[in-house]
Homo-oligomer: A and B are copies of this chain.
């Protein structure tokens, strides 16, 4: 259990840190830091708990909120020391989706017993915080970046569920899932790993697309 609680806090706090760094990029004030850090840190887990029909984790244990606020405060006073805040956002986000993807799969599995739901819970938990952060701050969504992202969260969740089903002890299964997810995502960040795309022509502008006057493009 301790390993899982550790993963949970790692996910919440690092997501909160990415929210605070984005708040810094947007020159928000201290309360804006705390708000964006808190919704980024708790967003994924909140949706996970609502969907699973269990009490929302930070309502049951407000210490998570204090952890987010403390992270935001720390970032408020140190963000300027970082050479590239956006690069830090990407790397902290990489650790956070790895930790939170595994923890989401663990909680989904514990509540429903379904491996399919566990994997989707891992992916959703990992993705939602970043999506909320990017939408609120009007940043380009990390989901739409070319290098792999959801693949990493999915890989971590799948490896964790498989290792758990194979009878591995919980900390080992969680470690294997985390390593898989972080390995995939850090490869993506450091070396630009992508999945082979079957076909890759971007969509046209919606209005041009409706005019449909150019048979050579596929809209």
Contact = CB atoms under 8 A, between A and B. Distances in A.
A65 interface: yes
Nearest to A108: B59
Contact of A76 (B24, B30, B198, B210): B198
A136 B140 contact: no
**Residue in A31, A55, A123 with the greatest tally of chain B CB atoms within 10 Å:** A31
Contact of A35 (B26, B127, B138, B218): B127
Interface residues of A, number: 78
A70 B112 CA distance: 22
A135 interface: yes
A55 B53 contact: yes
A219 B27 contact: no
Interface string A189-204: 0000011111111111
Contacts of A52: 59
A117 interface: yes
User: Taking each of A82, A86, A124, A136, which has the highest tally of chain B beta carbons within 10 Å of its own beta carbon?
Assistant: A86
A32 to B, nearest CB: 6
A80 B218 contact: yes
11 contacts: A27-B146, A27-B200, A28-B144, A53-B55, A65-B117, A77-B198, A83-B215, A84-B209, A85-B209, A87-B209, A87-B219
Given A26-B203, A136-B144, 16 more contacts: A22-B203, A29-B197, A31-B148, A31-B151, A31-B195, A38-B120, A39-B124, A46-B51, A51-B59, A80-B198, A80-B201, A83-B212, A84-B219, A86-B206, A135-B135, A140-B206
